[in-house]
Amino acid sequence: MQVGIYRTDAGGRCVWVNSRLCELFELEAEEFLALGWTKRIHQDDLARVQQSRAQAIGPLSTFEIDYRIEVPVKGTRWISAFSTALMTSGEFAGRIGIVRDITAIRRDA
């Protein structure tokens, strides 16, 4: 299974994404990095995702959440996201995370 991968800086700004993540969200990398991915979050899940993300600040926290996105071609998709702290020379340097499409799992449940 291919997964989307992203990296943020210490301030929480997304600085890198792989091509699979762009495919999942149906966005170009530049748009994804400019917070374009947030416009894809299903309206009913947006506040929950924002709250969870805001709480996952700093080196000791993890971010793990399932939520829906709305994409033009594939419609509503279920996403599972996880990130953890990225440390460089003992200092918090941001987060590294993975995102996978779990739509088929949710559909079969």
> Which positions of the chain have pLDDT values less than 70?
1, 58, 109
Q: Smallest Cα–Cα separation from 99: which of 73, 75, 81?
A: 81
- What structural domains and CATH numbers belong to the chain? 4-108 (3.30.450.20)
Distance (Å, rounded) from C-alpha 6 to C-alpha 106? 23
Confirm whether pTM is higher than 0.75: yes
Q: State the number of CA atoms in the 13 A half-sphere of 27 facing the CB.
A: 22
